[in-house]
Amino acid sequence: MDLKDDNLEKYILAHIDSEPDYLKKLVRDTNLHTLKPRMLSGHLQGRMLKMFCSMMSAKRILEIGTFTGYSALCMAESLPEDGELHTIEINDELEDFLLQLFDTNGYSSKIHLHIGDASQIIPTLDGLFDVVFMDGNKRHYMDYYQAVFPKLRLGGLIIADNTLWDGHVLEDSKDAQTIGIQKFNDLIMTDDRVERVIVPVRDGMTLIKKKNN
Ligand SMILES: C[S@@+](CC[C@H](N)C(=O)[O-])C[C@H]1O[C@@H](n2cnc3c(N)ncnc32)[C@H](O)[C@@H]1O
């Protein structure tokens, strides 16, 4: 959930790892050049993503929904020298911007950008992943989950973003995105192959740990 108290949010941001300058610039560029800059993870969530990947000692990370690359860069910061992050974005208008961004910041060899629909690209990816960050189309979270589950190593972590959907999960809604998130949350709750917890930060992040295949 969003922090309603600005002073508390300022306090938190002043007492966690700072946002690197290159990410501050990315926030400014995203605000200037995109229609929905709020989609970007931001300082607190970005540092959390980096921390989760680091705690998992992740060497292979998969992201669904790159947008302007903020979360991909945060997670890539945690990678060891031989680590890699694959990120999938359906909007091909972002491709040139993202390739230049990753190159300028020294991540062109670690971050592999796939342009296209995640549901089609995931089955083509080889090998197992340690961490998957799901942040694509909310209507398709169940499909992404089914597709990535076989690609996640035992003990691996799926981080699903926006799982409280601004509180709309409590509503009897006809909105396709709300219904997509509600169905996803219900599915995760009944899947005995995983452990799960919802972290009520920002728009809700569900941490899903794979216990068995
Ligand atoms: C919330 S934004 C991602 C924000 C980014 N992860 C961050 O934290 O900075 C969601 C992105 O998912 C992309 N997207 C939507 N459906 C997709 C799909 N089926 N496959 C890949 N990307 C998709 C959208 O174009 C959008 O850029």
How far does residue 139's CA lie from ligand 1's centre (Å)? 12
Instruction: Say if CB 199 and CB 209 are below 8 A apart.
Output: no
The number of the ligand 1 atom at minimal distance from the alpha carbon of 67 is 27
The rounded distance, in Å, linking the Cα atoms of 3 and 6 is 7
Which one-letter amino acid corresponds to residue 69? G
- Tell me the angle at which helices 43-55 and 6-14 cross, rounded to the nearest 10 degrees: 40
Instruction: Say if CB 171 and CB 147 are below 8 A apart.
Output: no
Residues near ligand 1 with C-beta < 6 Å? 39-41, 64-65, 67, 70-71, 88-91, 117-119, 135-137, 140
How far does residue 79's CA lie from ligand 1's centre (Å)? 21
Closest CA to 94 of 146, 40, 34, 46: 34
Residue nearest to atom 7 of ligand 1 (CA): 40
For 70-83, write each residue's pLDDT tens digit: 999 999 999 999 99
pLDDT at 96: 98
- Write out residues in the chain with pLDDT < 70, as ranges: 1-4
How far does residue 118's CA lie from ligand 1's centre (Å)? 9
List, as one string, the DSSP characters of 123-156: GG--S-EEEEEE-S-GGGHHHHHHHHGGGEEEEE
Kindly give the pairing relationship between strand 194-199 and strand 205-210: antiparallel
Query: The CATH number of 6-210 is which of 3.40.50.620, 3.40.50.150, 3.90.550.10, 3.40.50.970?
Result: 3.40.50.150
pLDDT at 95: 98
Residues with Cβ within 8 Å of residue 169, at least 6 apart in sequence: 163, 178, 181, 182, 185, 204
Closest CA to 162 of 64, 91, 87: 64
pLDDT at 4: 62
How far does residue 91's CA lie from ligand 1's centre (Å)? 8
pLDDT at 3: 58
pLDDT at 58: 98
pLDDT at 14: 98
For the chain, give every domain's residue range: 6-210
How far does residue 27's CA lie from ligand 1's centre (Å)? 16
Q: Using alpha carbons only, give the angle 22, 72, 132 rounded to the nearest 5 degrees.
A: 160
The number of the ligand 1 atom at minimal distance from the alpha carbon of 117 is 20
pTM (2 d.p.) = 0.97
